Chain A
Amino acid sequence: MSLEDTNAMRVKLGLKPIQDDNSSQNNEKSAESNYATLKADEQKQRESEEQRVNIERTRNKLQLNKRLKGKTLGEDTGEDDAKKWAKRLKRKQKEAAERVARAQLEQDNLYTQDDSNYNESHLSGLRVGHNVDDFAEGKDHILTLKDGAVLDDADDELQNLDLAEDERGRERAELSKGVKARQYTGLDDEEFGADGAAKKPALLSKYDEELAGADSGFRLGDATAHTSKNTTDNHDNSTLTQPTEKLNKTLLSLDYLKNEQPSDFLKEGDVGFKKPKTKKTKKRSTRKAEVVDGDMQIDTSTSTHVEMKPPAPRERANLEHTNMIDDDDLQIALAKQRRDKQRRSKAVRQKKPEEIAAEIGELDEIDMRRNGEETEKEFDGKAKSLVLDDTSEFIRTVQMAPQQEAQEVHESVSVKKEPDLSVDGDQPLDVAADMDVTIEDVDGIKKEEEKGEQSYQGDGGFEKESTANTPTNPPTHTTHAKGLGSLLASLKQQGQIEALTPEQRERERVQSESLHFLADQRAREVVREEHRQRIRLDETKSQQDRDRELRSRDARSAQEDKEAFERNYKPSVDIKYHDETGRAQTAKEAWKYLNYKFHGRGQGTKGQEKKLRQIEMERRQMAMTSGETPLNVMGAFQSRREATGSAHMVLSVGNRGAAPQSDSLFDAGSRLEKRSGGSGNAVESVGNRAGDDTTASTSTSTLAPPEDNQHTQANGTSSFVPVGSSPAPEQQEQPAKSTFAPIGSLGASTSTGTGAGAQAGGLKLGGKITFGKRKSDTGEIKQQNKQPRLD
């Protein structure tokens, strides 16, 4: 379709026709013209450039031609005779000779100047490559310029060949010794400067020389480095006289005031001392002393009076028993101060010796009342001094822990014997504590210490008390060495055997009745059979009579049986389901299981996993330590006890059961507790002996951590009897007829018939283990316990 047709059609359609006229031709034309103009321009530019270059060239030529003035070689000079030329040549030679001579003269003058005015000042500032010390006195040393690179900017250095050689030899020897010689020796030696003053070594100071270059040497005319003023020429005979003031710089003045009372504090202008050096040895010594101290405290710590005394007596003990007295003067001064202080404190207290004597007498009386050597001894120890703090208490318990276990069994009886000395012994103890301050002689402490050791080494009462008062063992299983009883008890404690509910008991009773009935039935059957036999064999009666009699008898017996059956036969039906693993199922589980079976499809994977997890959980719970909770509460309690150093934890205060908030409150509580804890043995003796050995009674109180249970189980006694619930009467209620089943059947206690006896047996053993008791309850109990001793 051509353009004309298209345009006609466009017009018909109402569109404007296309002006195709020359759009493309226009483009070509313009492009051509553009190209032409571009060409023309380029041509023009080229021409102008050419012209410029031409102009330049001609100008250069002109300039060159300007310099070529005068005559050329080829041209005639005008004076062409040889005579003139020779003359000129001669003159030129003469001038040159003169110039040379003059230079020579100058040079000569330079070297042949008179050396009368050449002195040391000319050499001042010149560097000598040796130490001043290296130059031996009274000897001439010839110094020469040292070789060096020409291009180096380093200034000239003088050196003596011999000395340099020596130095090099020394270096070589040093190197041949190897690297080890220069390495760190382990001695933290200080470096000493030239003036003898010590200075701290820098880090890796051994490399300083290599990095910075040896800084030996000095400069001539340098006043600080050397003092020789009379160096002539190259001779240097410097003396090694050091200025005295430099030597004395670090010396201390020796005169001091002897009569002056030394003060503990640093005065202004006093010379201080370096701390870290002395500290190390001292620390070791104090630690040693503390152990001794700890021993001392152990025998005294049984007393309940907890009053934080200043550590003065302890300090004295340290001085006595460690060989740390290295400064007699210091000791004397300290003793003097101490005496002063004591005198002052005495004056304040105004306590007379008579009073003290009276108090001691009182103490003795009390002692006499308590018959028993051990207590007396301990009490003596107690009376003399008393240092108790949390740390020592904790250390002591930790030390005692291993022994405690071993002795537990044997001591159970003797613990009972301990009299209640701290119940009313509190008051005199206070006095004793006061006394401690007034004790002047060190001998007293010595004696006391000896006593302490006695009671420590002999298996005296204190260890027993420690077992009674501070149980720190982690909760463990009771040993099964005691027999079936303890085993059952422990199983019960772990919750593997459950106590019987009343319904269960009722059912048991019924079951046993039915068993009786069955046995009776059997016996009656036997009797009847005998009768029957007798009738059958009876020859006196006719066959008819015999038959009749038998029939009537049978009818009667049937009637009897029926009545008995109705009366006595009460079967207890307990349907139990077990899954594939043998676990007992609950009703719901069983229903689910049967349902799955019936419908022919199993549980989903998720459900199976869940079930497995549950089983695992149960298993773990069974294997858990006795007295432990899933949340590890007992473990937490244990760690808490170790952290606080007290054998208890205050769970709540008051009726509201509020937890103690502040530390101060807690501390106060701990102090109270300690007091009561110390008097634990007293409480024991007051308390009744609960139950016989088979009854495992456990008291409940916040004071009694799990090993207490264990302890009491082993002993059959409780150490905190008045505190807890009294389980003894409850055990008497148990049915006497319950018998022991073999252990094997314990596990199968779920089966209806045979487990009954075993459960009953377990029940007989069981006390109440009530750790998770209401906190408010225990709080109350504790307060009751504490109240009498608070004042």
Chain B
Amino acid sequence: MLIRYAVLVTIFLMGCEAVHPEDTSLLVVESYVAAGKPLPPVTLRRTAPLEANYDLGHATAATGARVEFTMQDSPIPYTMQGTGVYAPLEPVTAIPGARLDLKVYWGDQVITAKSRIPPPVSLDSVSIEVSDTPIPGLILDSVFVDPLLVDSLGLRALGANAREGLVYLVEATLYWTDNTQRDDDDWWMRTQLLPRLGQSPRLSNFFLSPEALQLEKSAPFANAEQRSWSGAYAVQVPSSSNQIPAHGLRVSIIRGTRDYAQFVSGSSNPGESEPPSNVTGALGIFTGLAIDTLTVEVQ
């Protein structure tokens, strides 16, 4: 009997010894390859447990991976040059229209992704108009529109940190040249107005739409070559006698792939669903895009 127990204990202890703590985390890939710009790094992170703090640094970085980056069938050597950051050994410019392939070997996993670099985009011009006087507007520090609450009048949604104030409306129209008409792919345009303000009336902005995502071919033509998009945002002021505070406005335009569009549209509710990933075997996004931003001063 004693021997039997000894064998069982031995097996048990051996079993304990044999079991290594298993890392169940997933790899998260992030890389945006911008047309005409140097090839970007590929950032590899790991998912983390819910109950722990999430550290963007070393604790969640995925180290020890091997990255194979191919642009138009040409391999580009990538090595880890920071904690979880893998970059090309030498600067290489992203070629518009080029096909992209990514392979990441991490442990016994092989992660793959494909994409394409769109034609470059540039903001040809931006026109900005500011309302003459401040007007009443809803001020809400957070917006959450729940259909159930909307059905029951949404009073709870409105009741959170809501107040009425005065706002200036700033309207901006962006113009860019559509150089994709000979391209077979459908490209998506993400346009954004980002005012550099301390406070933002988010409820008003929810309705004013300072950001949009649409198929490029559905954006209206301003003239034979240029397409345009108009957006607006609100700037709150304490009283009707106040001038609009001078502030910087970053105007951005991104031409992206369908994968990027799905990623952006799927990112709006991070507490209830994760954005769709175009990376096989991991989370994240690996995509080509074209981007242009400029910052103007509004006053």
Asked if A and B are interacting partners, one says no
Query: A residues touching B (Cβ–Cβ < 8 Å)?
Result: none
